[in-house]
Chains A and B, each alone.
Chain A
Amino acid sequence: MLVQNFPFFSIVLAMFSGILSSVLNGKQARNVSLGVIGSTIIMSAAVFFWCLGNGESYTYMMGHFPAPWGNEIRAGVLEGLTALLFSVIMLLSVLGGMRHTFEDVEPSKVNLFFIMIDLMLSSLLALIYTNDLFTAYVFVEINTIAGCGLIMIRQKGRSFSAAIRYMIMSQLGSGLFLIGLTLLYDVTGHLLMSPAKETVASIEAAGRYEIPMLVILAVISVGLAIKSGLYPFHSWIPYTYGYATPTASAILSGLVSKGYIFLLMKIFYRVLGQENVIASRMVNVLFLFGLAGMIMGSVHAILEEDTRRMIAYSSVAQIGYIYMGIGLGTESGMVAAVFHMFTHSATKALLFISAVGLYEVSGEKKDFRSLRGAGYRNRLAGVGFTVGALSMVGFPMLSGFISKLLFATSALQSPHKMMLTLIGLAVSTVLNAIYFLRLVITLYGRAEQVAVKGKQRCSFVFGGAIVCFILLNLFLGLMSQPVVRAITEGLEMFD
């Protein structure tokens, strides 16, 4: 089947376009990049619907040698859906921040920016589709370096220190992840996920290597948690998201951290075995860190003055939600976590992109009070920001509401964690509301203090991206049933 080749095509196409872009100029590189992201969307959709229709996942041999010897990738419903949503959000983020990209980046280096975008896309796709632990590590490396490049390409002010912060924390995470993989290889002798899982099952059944298995689980979880910015390891987030160019902020907050979470879920299900993970109580640790992140991220966001750093701290809280869902240790908790992953990707990218439109009409000031009345000066960006903010707070009809509902219902199934989850959700929602509604009220407040620069027309591309983001949010909010069903089916295919 041709469709079965699509995951491989999309990864290699993204890598090839990155290589090709190094000899193109900025505009050509942009067109190549947009074309590749567009075709990735189509191919991921095809993979998703093919897997959904056939009700099965498949593995794809990368080369002439079968599973335990050669590399392999795997595609199922969840992989297809994640790849589809990620590439859609990537396209919209690139389009929405396009003008700023060309302003922030030196003209002769625009093609390098798009190389980073292409390779970022390829690494995200590879993290989603991989069925091989070492392939995952290689693409984690590409992802990290591309992330650093995306942050520092702005070459102004704090973006260098933000990139260094990101690099140090991220390399720490990669290092722990690599140590975990090495230990895992030592006790199983496999790098591909499926044979490794079989060996893990026999090890667990025989009761051997208990301590190494526990350390492997802890080291891999902590490594990927650092890279995705779980609460106590979040210190790089506000700098990274706050000082990069808007497209980079949207991609880093919306997609990159989610790629690592997806990889962690995949390793839980397809290598270590979800029941072993639950039995080891590692989930409880993730649960507690997630809860702490939900509260503390929001508290930090409330204390922020700088709008983008505020949104960045809100990411800490939302990542906390996702880890809380994983930490519940139930099937429905995991579904809620995956759904919230999608919600947060779509919403946070929307917030970063629309915040840019609001900055433009408010004299590019960082303080959120300077945005007073900006909702009137750039109406579309104002509406986009409001929708994003309401979705994060959990307003009905928007995707954030559904994910909060899913978290709450799944909490009812795990009696020991129910009260904590519900209280955490309630407190975090109130805190979210405090800073997001404060922002929204500011946007539509009286604008007497700000010297209003002439009303700028927002470009067609920017407007289109915002509208698509809003529609995506409404889609996730209003038609959540098919998505939730697809996630459930995809998670079942993981075993």
Chain B
Amino acid sequence: MSRRKDNYETSRWRQFMQWLAGEIDPLTAAKVGMIQEKAETLPDEKMERGKVSTLQATPGNESDEREAHSAAAQAEKAAGQAKSAMAAEPWLNQPSGESRGLRLYRRFYQVMSILLCMGIISVLLWTIAYLPIFGNAGNPDNNEVSARYIEKGLDETGAVNMVTGMILDYRAFDTFGESCVLFIASCCVLVLLRIDNDGGSESWKKRQTEANDRIFEPKNDIILQKCACVLVPVILVFGIYIILNGHLSPGGGFSGGAVLGSGLILYLNAFGFQKAERIFNGKIYQRITVSALTFYCLAKSYSFFTGANHLNSGIPLGTPGNILSSGLILPLNICVGLVVACTMYAFYTLFRKGGM
């Protein structure tokens, strides 16, 4: 700070004239004093100096997105270090005289973050002491809401499994939201990991070979394949059972879908992509996901619409306990199960080879 002041080049009048001429920005210099009291002074200052040096090295620093040129590499590094100091991340080894301040700040940051976490944990633990005792009959959550779910749930939803009745009928809108969470999460993974063929360019080929680990296939691991032969059909049947019986016994779309997905992943691991793609590929994934979510959306919209306008939906509830009962819950469970299974399998293949 004081170093700046005894430099004639940065006197105020000179800065003002330069500002008028549009050469520099005096406010960058004035800022050091402004936030002196703040604890973040050190990284801010670091950032500032890093930036100044960046500007000196490459006027109009635009290399941010391009690959660092060798000339600008030094400046980039300085800026990068300053940035990481700002975010208080561990930075690279820095030989200059400022490293002591940075080390101090880093230590300060570590101590403060641990203290903060301890503070939050203790406040939350302290709060628990004041909450109603778990499992007590007189607790606020034992109210008319859960009473109706338990007493009338079977008549109103037709589902023997109360939880399924709750999530797919009483609060079906939330569950639709949850399946959209899965859908959009898989879309994000597609954005990140799917490698699209853009006409066979060099970068595509490079990414493809980097991501693809199929050169090690087929592994032909006899033990794995024999085990998979026995296990995969059982797992798949079990998954289907959990989904179809979701309204009758513990389980449902989310858990059954996870079982189905893991069965598919086991099959893929044992027999390799070539065989797996015969039963499941990108097209099938897309078709299944879209049709399942579309059905869910349309069926539930119909149900919401009729419910809100006090119309009779005309969906029979059937005899509780039968496999074909409880109205929309069975098809919705199937939809959710398919979406979950597809999402799990898609995540796995995307991470392994950037496509399906």
Interface size on A, residues (CB 8 A): 83
Interface string of B191-226 (1 = CB under 8 A from A): 110101010000000000000000000000000000
Q: Which among A60, A212, A296, A435 has the highest number of chain B CB atoms within 10 Å?
A: A212
Which residues of chain A (142-159) have a CB below 8 Å from chain B? 142, 145-146, 148-149, 152-153, 155-158
Contact for B156 among A65, A68, A146, CB less than 8 A? A65
Could you say which residues of chain B place their CB within 8 Å of the CB of A148?
188
How distant is the Cα of A212 from the Cα of B27 in the complex, in angstroms?
46
CA distance A112 to B190 in the complex (A): 8
- Decide: B185 and A153 in contact? CB cutoff 8 A: no
What 1/0 flags go to B31-57 for Cβ under 8 Å of A? 100110000000000001001000100
A370 engages B27 (CB within 8 Å) = no
- Shortest Cβ gap from A124 to chain B (Å): 13
Query: In the complex, which range does the number of interface residues on chain B fall in?
Result: 35 or more
Q: Is the CB of A119 within 8 A of B132?
A: no
Q: How many angstroms between the C-alpha atoms of A134 and B156 in the bound complex?
A: 22
Most chain B beta carbons < 10 A, residue from A62, A139, A189, A370: A62
Query: In this assembly, does B289 line the interface, its C-beta being within 8 Å of a C-beta of chain A?
Result: yes
Complex interface residues of chain B between 273 and 319 (CB less than 8 A to chain A): 286-287, 289-290, 293-294, 297-298, 301, 303-309, 313
Complex Cα distance, B287 from A153, in Å, reads 23
Q: Cβ of A299 and Cβ of B31 under 8 Å apart?
A: yes
The answer to whether A365 and B187 have CB atoms under 8 Å apart is: no
CA distance A112 to B51 in the complex (A): 36
Task: Enumerate chain A residues within 8 angstroms of B127, measured Cβ to Cβ.
Answer: 183, 211-212, 215
- What CA separation (Å) do A16 and B123 show in the bound complex? 42
Chain B nearest CB: distance from A255 CB in Å? Answer: 17
A115 in the interface, Cβ–Cβ < 8 Å? yes
Within B95-125, the residues touching A (CB, 8 Å) are 123-124
Main secondary structure of the interface of A (DSSP, over half): helix
Residues of B within 8 A of A18 (CB): 180, 183-184
Whether B303 contacts A189 by the Cβ 8 Å rule is no
Residue in A69, A183, A188 whose CB lies within 8 Å of B170: A69
Q: Does B174 contact A (CB under 8 A)?
A: yes
Q: Which of A19-27, A315-323, A324-332, A334-342 lies at the interface?
A: A19-27
A207 within 8 A of B: no
Query: Nearest B residue to A11 by beta-carbon distance?
Result: B173
Chain A contacts for B124, CB-based, 8 A? 179, 215
Is A199 within 8 A of B191, CB to CB?
Answer: no
Check A158 against B184 for contact (C-beta < 8 Å): no
Task: Check A367 against B61 for contact (C-beta < 8 Å).
Answer: yes
- Chain-A contact segment, one of B3-11, B144-152, B231-239, B263-271: B144-152
Contact B187 A115 (CB under 8 A): yes
- Tell me, yes or no, whether A402 is within 8 Å of chain B by CB: no
Q: Are B183 and A189 touching (Cβ within 8 A)?
A: no
Cα distance A119–B178 in the bound complex, in angstroms: 12
Residues of A within 8 A of B303 (CB): 63-64
Across the interface, do B307 and A119 meet the contact criterion of CB distance under 8 Å?
no
| Residues of A close to B25: CB separation below 8 A | 305, 438
Q: Does A31 contact B (CB under 8 A)?
A: no
Cα–Cα distance between A209 and B132 once the two chains are bound (Å):
9
Residues from chain A with a CB closer than 8 A to the CB of B173 are 62-63, 71, 132, 135
Task: Verify B145–A69 contact, CB threshold 8 A.
Answer: yes
* CA–CA, A363 and B146, complex, Å: 63
Return the chain A residue nearest B24 by Cβ: A369
Is the beta-carbon distance between A303 and B62 smaller than 8 angstroms? no
Q: Which of A32-40, A103-111, A264-272, A346-354 contacts B (4 or more CB under 8 A)?
A: A103-111
Q: Is the CB of A211 within 8 A of B130?
A: yes
* Separation of A438 and B66 alpha carbons in the complex (Å): 28
Nearest CB of chain B from residue A177's CB, rounded to whole Å: 14
A23 in contact with B184 given A63-B169, A107-B198 (CB within 8 Å): no
B135-143, B240-248, B253-261: which lies at the interface: B135-143
Which 6 A-B pairs have CB atoms at the shortest separation, nearest pair first? A157-B65, A138-B177, A64-B307, A189-B141, A108-B196, A189-B140
Q: Which residues of A contact B (CB under 8 A)?
A: 4-5, 8, 12, 15-16, 18-20, 22-23, 60-65, 68-71, 106-109, 112, 115-116, 119, 122, 126, 132, 134-135, 138-139, 141-142, 145-146, 148-149, 152-153, 155-158, 165, 179, 183, 185-190, 199, 209-212, 215, 235, 296, 299, 302-303, 305, 363-367, 369-370, 372, 434-435, 438, 442, 445-446
Besides A63-B173, A156-B65, A372-B22, 13 more A-B contacts (Cβ < 8 Å) are: A19-B183, A20-B290, A22-B183, A60-B308, A71-B170, A106-B196, A115-B187, A138-B181, A142-B184, A149-B188, A212-B127, A303-B48, A305-B51
